[in-house]
Amino acid sequence: MNIVLKIQDAARQTSKLNKLLGTVSLTSMIDLLSSAGLEANPRLSKVSRVTDDIEESLAKEPEIFHFMSKGILVAASTVEELDRSRFRLEFDDPDLEGILDGGHNSLAAGRFILRKALAVRHGEEKADAMMRPLKTWEKFKSAWTDNLDLVREEKAAIPEIRMPIEVIYPSDDTEGFAYFQEKVLAINAARNNNAELTAEARANKLGYYDEIKAALDPALVTEVEWKTNDGGRIKVRELVALSLIPLSKIEIKETEQVRRSPTVIFSSKGQCVDLYDKLMAADGVAQETKGNIVEVVDPKVKSALALMKDMPRLFDLVYKLLPEGYNKAGGRFGKIDGVRMAADGKVLKSHYYREPISYSYGDGFMYPLVFGLSSLMRNTDDGVTWITDPDAFIKKNMPTIMKSFYAMIAGVNFDPAKVGKSGGAYNLACDLVAAAYKDELLRQHGIV
């Protein structure tokens, strides 16, 4: 993929990495926004006070906008100088190249351009109405693509406004491209630190979550907020916390804290992200493929993460069946403070698969039971596997397990947060699951 940009007042800085600096007009940015996108930027932009201020500056201070903005930072594998201040930029790898920093500037400029083109065709009032829903990069990009022919036709309506631009690209020597691949993500992360780039976004960019993505039910992959502000309803840190359950079966230093204090999967998702990052950075777990992007190579870690195809489904199943088991144990789940019941037209849905459920309640009640499913996992030379069908086990044994776990809930005055933060609840859940499985084996052999 390549584009040609007219870069005014271009200046070069050469070193082990090369940099091209200058300004581009908004009309020149059309091809950049259409081709390079924000694929290399780990933080997807959305409409906010920042973008509103940028759009206002574009409208009210067009002559000095390039003095008011830091502009955009672009990485390209090749930069070729043409005539008349034009440069050909080639983008070979969307994981590393494209717009590294300046997502808000890119979104604001794109919205400004699109609004101008729509106003020519439909009038100012209708153009404003059409722009109003385009509050995320994803929604904007869809509308941009649909109207790209119109944008190109109405270039004359776009004011002559200049945007500062920096282009990073490899040097021409034999080691230049390897060095570029190695350093571009570090530059990416450093530039985005000022924008509160989350640990999850950095880890996603480094490929730490690719194995989870590969194992996850495809129906859920697009529902996850892998990048900050990309609109997914499922937070990636929730999946990371669930992944630590099968990973805790691997007795290595990086998973020891989860075995010692499993409450972390409920009470500190941020700490879960840190533990997972340390695991991915441990010797032998993953190896670099390009730049700093890694892939998991440790077979046991791969096998544990493969169980992520099951964990969200089992989370929902435990959540759904716990109240029924509680009631069979003699309690009245609907009477607990904070518990909501699906009644009078209320529709309650499970967290991951959005299936109908009868009760909504604090996750602390059931996180120990989800962790307890680790008692149904075995760590062998071949990796981490289930020793029995977990879905069938939960459906059959939840009432039995709840006969004892009921006392744990009652013992903390029915407070889900206290259950979720109680190490004893996790130990009890593991023991109850293990005992129920042992009883199943005994029954299968006719011993009980």
Concatenate the DSSP letters of all residues of 341-404 into one string: E--TT---B-TTT--B-SEE--GGGTHHHHHHGGGGEEEETTEEEESS-HHHHHHHHHHHHHHH
Token pair in block for residue 291: 């730049």
The torsion angles phi and psi of 414, rounded to 5 degrees, stand at 60, 35
Distance between CA atoms of residues 379 and 247, nearest Å: 10
Helix (H) or strand (E) holding 245: helix 236-247
Residue linked to tokens 């950049």: 32
List Cβ neighbours of 246 (8 Å cut-off, separation of 6 or more). Answer: 304, 305, 307, 308, 311, 374, 377, 384
Q: Can you give the pLDDT at residue 443?
A: 78
Strands 224-225, 234-235: pairing kind: parallel
**Beta bridge partners of residue 99, listed in sequence order:** 74
Q: Can you give the pLDDT at residue 386?
A: 97
Going by C-alpha positions, the residue among 97, 104, 46 that lies closest to residue 232 is: 46
Instruction: Tally Cβ neighbours within 10 Å of residue 131.
Output: 19
Low-confidence residues of the chain, pLDDT below 70?
Answer: 36-44, 174, 189, 192-198, 228-230, 291, 344-345, 445-448
Q: Can you give the pLDDT at residue 42?
A: 47
Distance between CA atoms of residues 419 and 362, nearest Å: 10
List Cβ neighbours of 279 (8 Å cut-off, separation of 6 or more). Answer: 247, 252, 254, 255, 285, 301
Coil/strand/helix, residue 274: helix
